[in-house]
């Protein structure tokens, strides 16, 4: 089975580095968030790229103040491989993660965490220097 981030139904098992932020767009718990004229769901795709900085701790609508984390253990994925690196997803998968490293020139390819099991990821999106595929 291939890795899948459902984009909903994810559960924050543990979070550290709690912050309160105001959203500039809606998000779901477990989404990777970045800052681009406000806190929004991250995306690796060049041209619309938003580097991951935080993990959304709860669902929220644009303008809502939510809890977010610098580090979080998130469950609800499927088909992952324990030990594999995870990255912010490309395409139209805003806020989601992937085990496939983005390779299109200019895409964000910053490592944001690792799969602990097939369904659980240990995420720390803002912990490494920003990186772009070349």
Domain limits, the chain:
11-123
Residue 94, classed as helix, strand or coil, is coil
61-81, pLDDT tens digit by residue? 999 999 999 999 999 999 999
Is the distance from CB of 69 to CB of 57 less than 8 angstroms? Answer: yes
Q: Within 13 Å, how many C-alpha atoms sit on residue 74's CB side?
A: 35
Token pair for residue 70?
């610098």
Angle, CA of 104, 130 and 48, to the nearest 5°: 50
Tens of pLDDT, residue by residue over 21-49, are: 999 999 999 999 999 999 999 999 998 99
Q: Where would I find the H helices in the chain?
A: none
What whole-number distance in Å separates Cα of residue 118 and Cα of residue 15? 19
pTM for this one? 0.95
Give 97's DSSP letter: E
Q: What is the pLDDT of residues 77-107, one digit of tens each?
A: 999 999 999 999 999 999 999 999 999 999 9
Tell which residue, 133, 130, 69, 83, has the closest CA to residue 105.
Answer: 133
């Amino acid at each position: 089975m291939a890795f899948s981030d459902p984009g909903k139904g994810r559960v924050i098992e543990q979070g550290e580095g709690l912050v309160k932020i105001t959203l500039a767009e809606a998000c779901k718990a477990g989404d990777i968030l970045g800052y681009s004229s406000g806190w929004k769901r991250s995306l690796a795709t060049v041209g619309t790229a938003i580097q991951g900085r935080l993990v959304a701790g709860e669902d929220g609508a644009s303008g809502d103040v939510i809890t977010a984390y610098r580090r979080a253990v998130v469950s609800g994925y499927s088909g992952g491989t324990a030990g594999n690196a995870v990255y912010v997803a490309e395409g139209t998968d805003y806020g989601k993660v992937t085990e496939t490293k983005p390779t299109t020139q200019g895409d964000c390819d910053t490592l944001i965490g690792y799969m602990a099991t097939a369904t659980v990821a240990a995420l720390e999106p803002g912990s490494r220097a920003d990186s772009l595929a070349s």
